[in-house]
Amino acid sequence: MSVLQEQAVSMIGNLSDDNVSFLIEIIRRLMPHEQGHKENAYISEGKEAFEKMLAARDNIQHYFPVDFNPEKELEEARAERYGGTN
């Protein structure tokens, strides 16, 4: 271990846990391979959430009438709440 590394380890040893967590986050942001991994994890989570949303949408379709028109429902609700457009 170099003198510079030993100095860094000594300084980190004197930090509180909160500050060490903050330092780790900064180091992760500075390391390009770590950032790419983090971005990929966010993308994977987003894709998974989107797939769950699509599956849920497909599952709830049978609760609506066959002739259900969401745009018409929205317009009727707006007219009821805010009055019709003249």
Percent of the chain scored above 90 by pLDDT? 16
What tens digit of pLDDT does each residue of 46-77 get? 888 888 888 888 788 888 888 889 899 999 99
**Tally of domains in the chain:** 1
pTM: 0.34
Residues, the chain: 86
Quote the domain boundaries for residue 70. Answer: 3-82
At 37 the pLDDT is 58
At 77 the pLDDT is 94
